[in-house]
């Protein structure tokens, strides 16, 4: 039978097109205004503070349970010992040892954090766009996604451990790209783990300074909850997640899967 398919037919998959679209948008991203991101973070926080409180509550409960379980089985990192005196060698030795021995615990905490924060971003998107809000905080614990979330948790923990072993500056650097794992996952769950990591580092590198700056400022604002006898921190600290959400919104947007964009990606003409 004669093949009548056109020779220039593009056979790339929608998932591949989505990844290429993400990278293209990141590459062409325009400068963002620092003050605008901060003010929009505050305004969005006013709408989602209770949802953020619940996410932080889930995270703290999960972290406490995991820490208790690891201490119970004797796999928790040793506490810092000052009996041998305080020195640079003592601190760096403890720092390195803690980074290595805490990897199993960090993998579990990273996995749960990614799942909860991705669900939080999904809810934030619904609130921000005026959609009907579905408060499904366990959305990414679904078997369709959890294996992917667990693999991302492993990657997240290993990158963090390596960065910690290289001491302070590399660890500060990777905090920004790692912060984009959850938002990329939340809006592009069909991407592979490696594609999510690549897109996160591409966006983190492109917008590193404004991401770090806005996260620092919102982190300071979030710490104001400490003034309420410490318990207020649970209600305020979730604001630190919102700059990443808003930067993603400005750079990439929430219409990655639209048919118009897919036609644009498949088009062989120049942009």
CA angle 38, 227, 124 (to 5 degrees): 35
Instruction: Write the CA distances from 178 to 136, 185, 208, integer angstroms.
Output: 23, 12, 11
Would you say residue 270 has pLDDT above 50? no
Over the chain, what is the mean pLDDT?
84
The predicted pLDDT at position 83 comes to: 58
DSSP letters for 237-252: GGGGGHHHHHHHHHHT
| Cβ count within 10 A of residue 96 | 15
Residue whose token pair is 């302070």: 168
Residue whose token pair is 């021995």: 101
Mean pLDDT of 63-73: 90
Q: What DSSP element (H or E) covers 135?
A: none
Q: What is the pTM of this model?
A: 0.83
pLDDT band at 60 (very low <50, low <70, confident <90, very high): very high
Would you say residue 265 has pLDDT above 50? no
pLDDT band at 11 (very low <50, low <70, confident <90, very high): very low
Rounded to whole angstroms, the Cα distance separating 188 from 255 reads 10
């Amino acid at each position: 039978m004669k093949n009548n398919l056109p020779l220039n037919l593009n056979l790339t998959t929608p998932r591949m097109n989505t990844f290429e679209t993400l990278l293209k948008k990141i590459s062409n991203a325009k400068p963002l205004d620092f003050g605008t991101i901060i003010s929009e973070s505050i305004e969005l926080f006013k709408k989602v503070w209770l949802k953020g409180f619940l996410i932080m509550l889930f995270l703290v409960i999960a972290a406490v349970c995991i820490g208790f379980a690891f201490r119970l089985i004797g796999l928790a990192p040793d506490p810092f010992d000052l009996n041998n005196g305080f020195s640079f060698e003592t601190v760096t030795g403890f720092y390195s040892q803690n980074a290595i021995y805490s990897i199993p615990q960090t993998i579990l905490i990273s996995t749960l954090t990614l799942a909860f924060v991705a669900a939080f971003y999904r809810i934030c998107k619904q609130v921000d766009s005026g959609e009907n809000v579905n408060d499904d905080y366990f959305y990414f614990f679904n078997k369709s996604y959890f294996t992917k979330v667990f693999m991302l948790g492993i990657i997240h923990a290993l990158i963090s451990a390596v960065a910690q072993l290289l001491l302070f500056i590399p660890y500060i650097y990777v905090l920004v790209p790692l912060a984009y794992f959850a938002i990329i996952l939340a809006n592009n769950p069909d991407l592979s783990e490696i594609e999510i990591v690549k897109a996160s580092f591409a966006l983190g590198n492109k917008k590193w300074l404004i991401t770090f700056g806005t996260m620092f400022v919102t982190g300071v604002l979030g710490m104001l909850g400490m003034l309420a006898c410490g318990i207020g921190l649970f209600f305020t600290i979730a604001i630190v997640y919102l700059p990443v959400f808003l930067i993603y919104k400005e750079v990439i947007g929430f219409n990655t899967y639209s048919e118009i964009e897919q036609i644009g990606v498949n088009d062989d003409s120049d942009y």
